[in-house]
Structure 1
Amino acid sequence: MRHLLVTSFLMVLVLMTTGVFAQDYVLTVSNGSIPNNGSGDLTVNLDNNGGELQGWSYGACNDTAFLTCTGVVNGSTVATVNDGGTPDFNQMAVFDEGFTAGVVICFIGCATLTNGTGYELNIATYDCTAEGSTSVSFCDTLGSPAVATVVVVDGASIVPVQNSGDVECIGVPDPEYTYAAGNASAGYNPADGNASTSVDITIAETDNSGLGAPFPNDTQGFSMGLGNSSEVVATAVNLTLPFEADFGETSIYPEGWTAGVVYSFTGGAVLAFPSATTVISVDYETGGSMAGNEDGAIASLTWDDGLGSPAVANVVVVGGGSLTAAQSNGSIALNPVVTSDWIRGDANSDSVVNIGDVIWMISELFTGGAASSCSISSDANDDGSHDLGDPSYVIQYRFIGGPMPVAPFPGCGQVDGQTPEDCEGSSCSG
């Protein structure tokens, strides 16, 4: 007993004399999350804040109730630690309950691991076998004989500081989908309040493959309901599938619409949504609801599980089961657009169509004359352009019995699709 105490004292004295302290060397297993019934990697890192290391050995143990170690490979440090190559001795062994590693960098002392942090020693692969929290810890019990957890400095074995890694074995989520209503805008004339536009409806699956879930998944159908605020009403709900579904039913209500789709009653057709895919295009109109409103409005499009009787749920069918979809609402920006009345052929905006307009048109077209403040009025022949045909049309009408210009003529008016830029001012606007 006395001999043992003396030996221990001398060893401590030697280590103190050479400046070797256990706290200068730290082994750490990384933390991580691994999907249940899936696999994942953890790394073992070394911080060397002491002397030059000649080698090391360790065991890393796991609880087989949660984890099974299936493999271990060299980390980036070990791959090059011996003057750019692997160590002279590099032994790894894998067990269900963990793994061991032993390294001698160079048998003749030609290379060492100098001071530094974050040295990557090994990368181990684990399978999760049950959901829950567990850890991977350094141990001295694996192998036969058991491998000790030590680092070697100047031929002496030092037990380093050891940090376990926390591991979360997480359950694999069910497929997840998102219904998204697009955003759109439409202009209206406050005089009548009419506007129309269309909105695309998409489905997208969330990529959970990193959690061990299959991706993408085949769907067999879906149902959905989207409400709208009072500024707009749906006028048509159009399926945009790449095939004709065996069942595709849509219903429109003042407050929204619903759709139910089964691709194939016999299972012969499926759809996957690895990215946002348009499945429905919906036409909306204001129906004059914005008449007199010169401020504009935002019509909301909100997913609703209460539309229809019985109510239609927002679900996707996968493997015969219904999965509730996440939802992203949309909107329609309704913008007032004031357009001016005008008279066809009245290029000079004097309220009459005569030889003066012919001269104005020719001057504007060929001699650099002033441009009309209402360019659309110069389209006397209603062919969608302004050219020599327009003054010729007016001459024929006024002097040789040609046809009368089409509306708006002879009084003031507008045409469908007119924009504010078509007529910035005319005699009709005072």
Structure 2
Amino acid sequence: MTMRVLYVPVFLLMTVCVLGQDYSLSVSSGSIPDGGSGSLSISLDNNGSDIAGWSFGVCNDTGFLTCTGAVDGSTTAVVKNGGPPDFNQISVFDDGFTVGVVICFTGCAVLAPGSGYEINVADYTCNQEGSTTVGFCDTLGAPPVQTVVVVDGASVVPSQNSGDVECIGVPDPEYTYSAGSTSAGYNPADGNASASVAISIAETDNSGLGAPFPNDTQGFSMGLGNGSEMTATAVNLSLPFEADFGEVSIYPEGWTIGVVYSFTGGNVLAFPTDTTVITADYETGGSMAGNDTGATVSLNWDGGLGSPAVANVVVVGGASIDALLSDGSITFNPVVTIDWTRGDANSDGIVNLADGIWIISELFVNGAASTCSISKDANSDGIFDIADPTYIIMYRFAGGPAPAAPFTDCGQVDGQTPEDCDDSACAG
């Protein structure tokens, strides 16, 4: 008799444990900005039999979180044949909330086996930075609400998984200075090249972390260094208004600028998207002469330029915020161009009637193309047309003006590219 009394409770206990392992309640994890709000979801996995209802309490540490509300999850909202349950009681407290649900008093609907059922969504505000947990408890309410699911008329304690919550501080405004990258060609014979680079500012959108965005700025300062192969020749400020103060200093190794939009606060500027504020011009000054391979010259943000040194900061609300920095570069590529003579369309080294005939033939009777197309522009108007052979004939036979340089000596023009002249008598 004694053995039978002991045996039955042990059997029942094992049965309840097995059933409990078939059901699982979980609180999601997440992050909430300090002073801001966020939501966590409560989910139910059913790996056992049909569930007729449930109840539970979810507790939080009020030192970190305050529960401000709880609503039905997507599953609960339609759990009774597409509609809400017959009984659904939610009570909200600062330190958590409780739920009691009966799907259908007459047994007309149940929660079938499945996983990922969203039961509730709870809202919280964060009270201080730090890490905390939100978990199931049996201490909320009067009387306290127990954490159970109802299966075949019996209350079964499900397994329970807490959620981790990180209360994160609201970040300060964050800005990035970006120096652009570009390329330019140069003739190794003289090593001269010039290029312009856009300098931009962009604010990082941290509104998802509770930070205001975008923020108004009152000014900024910058220092950008460059390699010895080039020097800055101009730093041009580009704002939608004229700043009260904008001081530029150029050094062999870089440049600095300090900008105050308005001493009286009349002008402010936000950077919700990447916005160009400066165009910086550079020249090699012949430093690439004899270099047939080219070079990439870095543009590096430098907070040590000037005396005193100029910091890379943005001014927001009267405070200086260090900018994030994205460097740039200029790639100089060797471009070989050849000498030529204006008007020498047939590249025989002489400007005469034959060149006029060559141009007319190319224009009107599908004649051979000149190997130096730029030489056909006899009148220097940048257009290849009937006016060019006319100009040559007038020069040779009617006392017209001579073609512009390069003429009669071989030479080149500013901005000439390799495509302008493939071959000429001047090239040998």
Measured against the shorter chain, the TM-score band is over 0.9
Amino acid at match of 2:194: S
Q: SS at 1:79's partner residue?
A: helix
- Report what 2:30 is aligned to: 32
Give distance in 1, aligned partners of 2:112 and 2:128: 40
Give distance in 2, aligned partners of 1:151 and 1:8: 26
Amino acid at match of 1:180: S
Matches within 5 A, 1:280-299: 280-299=278-297
Amino acid at match of 1:349: S
- Report what 2:346 is aligned to: 348
CA 1:19 to 1:61, structure 2 compared with 1: closer, same or farther past 3 Å? closer
Q: SS at 1:393's partner residue?
A: helix
Give distance in 2, aligned partners of 1:230 and 1:6: 95
Matches within 5 A, 1:239-388: 239-388=237-386
The CA deviation string for residues 299-357 of structure 1, in whole angstroms up to 9 with x for no partner, is 10000010000000001111111111010000001011111111000000000001111
CA 1:43 to 1:407, structure 2 compared with 1: closer, same or farther past 3 Å? same
CA 1:335 to 1:353, structure 2 compared with 1: closer, same or farther past 3 Å? same
The answer to whether the 8 Å contact 1:20/1:50 transfers is no
Q: CA deviation at 1:8?
A: 11
Q: CA deviation at 1:21?
A: 1.1
Q: 1:128 aligns with which of 109, 126, 135?
A: 126
Give distance in 2, aligned partners of 1:14 and 1:43: 31
The answer to whether the 8 Å contact 1:347/1:372 transfers is yes
Q: CA deviation at 1:19?
A: 10
The CA deviation string for residues 37-92 of structure 1, in whole angstroms up to 9 with x for no partner, is 11111111111000000010100000001100001111111111111111111111
The answer to whether the 8 Å contact 1:55/1:152 transfers is yes
The CA deviation string for residues 89-142 of structure 1, in whole angstroms up to 9 with x for no partner, is 111111000011111111111111111111111111111101111100100111
Q: Structure 1: which 5+ runs fail to align?
A: none
Matches within 5 A, 1:4-403: 9=8, 13=12, 16=15, 21-403=19-401
CA 1:139 to 1:111, structure 2 compared with 1: closer, same or farther past 3 Å? same
**% identical aligned pairs:** 72
Moved over 4 A (4+): 5-12
Q: SS at 2:414's partner residue?
A: coil
CA 1:226 to 1:339, structure 2 compared with 1: closer, same or farther past 3 Å? same
Give distance in 2, aligned partners of 1:50 and 1:358: 97
Q: SS at 2:78's partner residue?
A: coil
Give distance in 2, aligned partners of 1:230 and 1:102: 75
CA 1:44 to 1:8, structure 2 compared with 1: closer, same or farther past 3 Å? farther
Q: SS at 2:155's partner residue?
A: strand
Q: Structure 2: which 5+ runs fail to align?
A: none
The answer to whether the 8 Å contact 1:20/1:51 transfers is no
Q: CA deviation at 1:13?
A: 3.5
Amino acid at match of 1:39: S
Provide the alpha-carbon RMSD of the alignment. Answer: 1.7
The CA deviation string for residues 364-385 of structure 1, in whole angstroms up to 9 with x for no partner, is 1111110000011011111111
Q: CA deviation at 1:428?
A: 0.7
Amino acid at match of 2:371: S
Give distance in 2, aligned partners of 1:39 and 1:339: 65
Give distance in 2, aligned partners of 1:287 and 1:418: 18
User: Number of aligned pairs?
Assistant: 426
Give distance in 2, aligned partners of 1:11 and 1:311: 80
CA 1:6 to 1:164, structure 2 compared with 1: closer, same or farther past 3 Å? farther
The CA deviation string for residues 283-313 of structure 1, in whole angstroms up to 9 with x for no partner, is 1111111111110000100000100000000
Q: SS at 2:375's partner residue?
A: helix
Give distance in 1, aligned partners of 2:60 and 2:5: 37
Give distance in 2, aligned partners of 1:364 and 1:196: 36
CA 1:47 to 1:360, structure 2 compared with 1: closer, same or farther past 3 Å? same
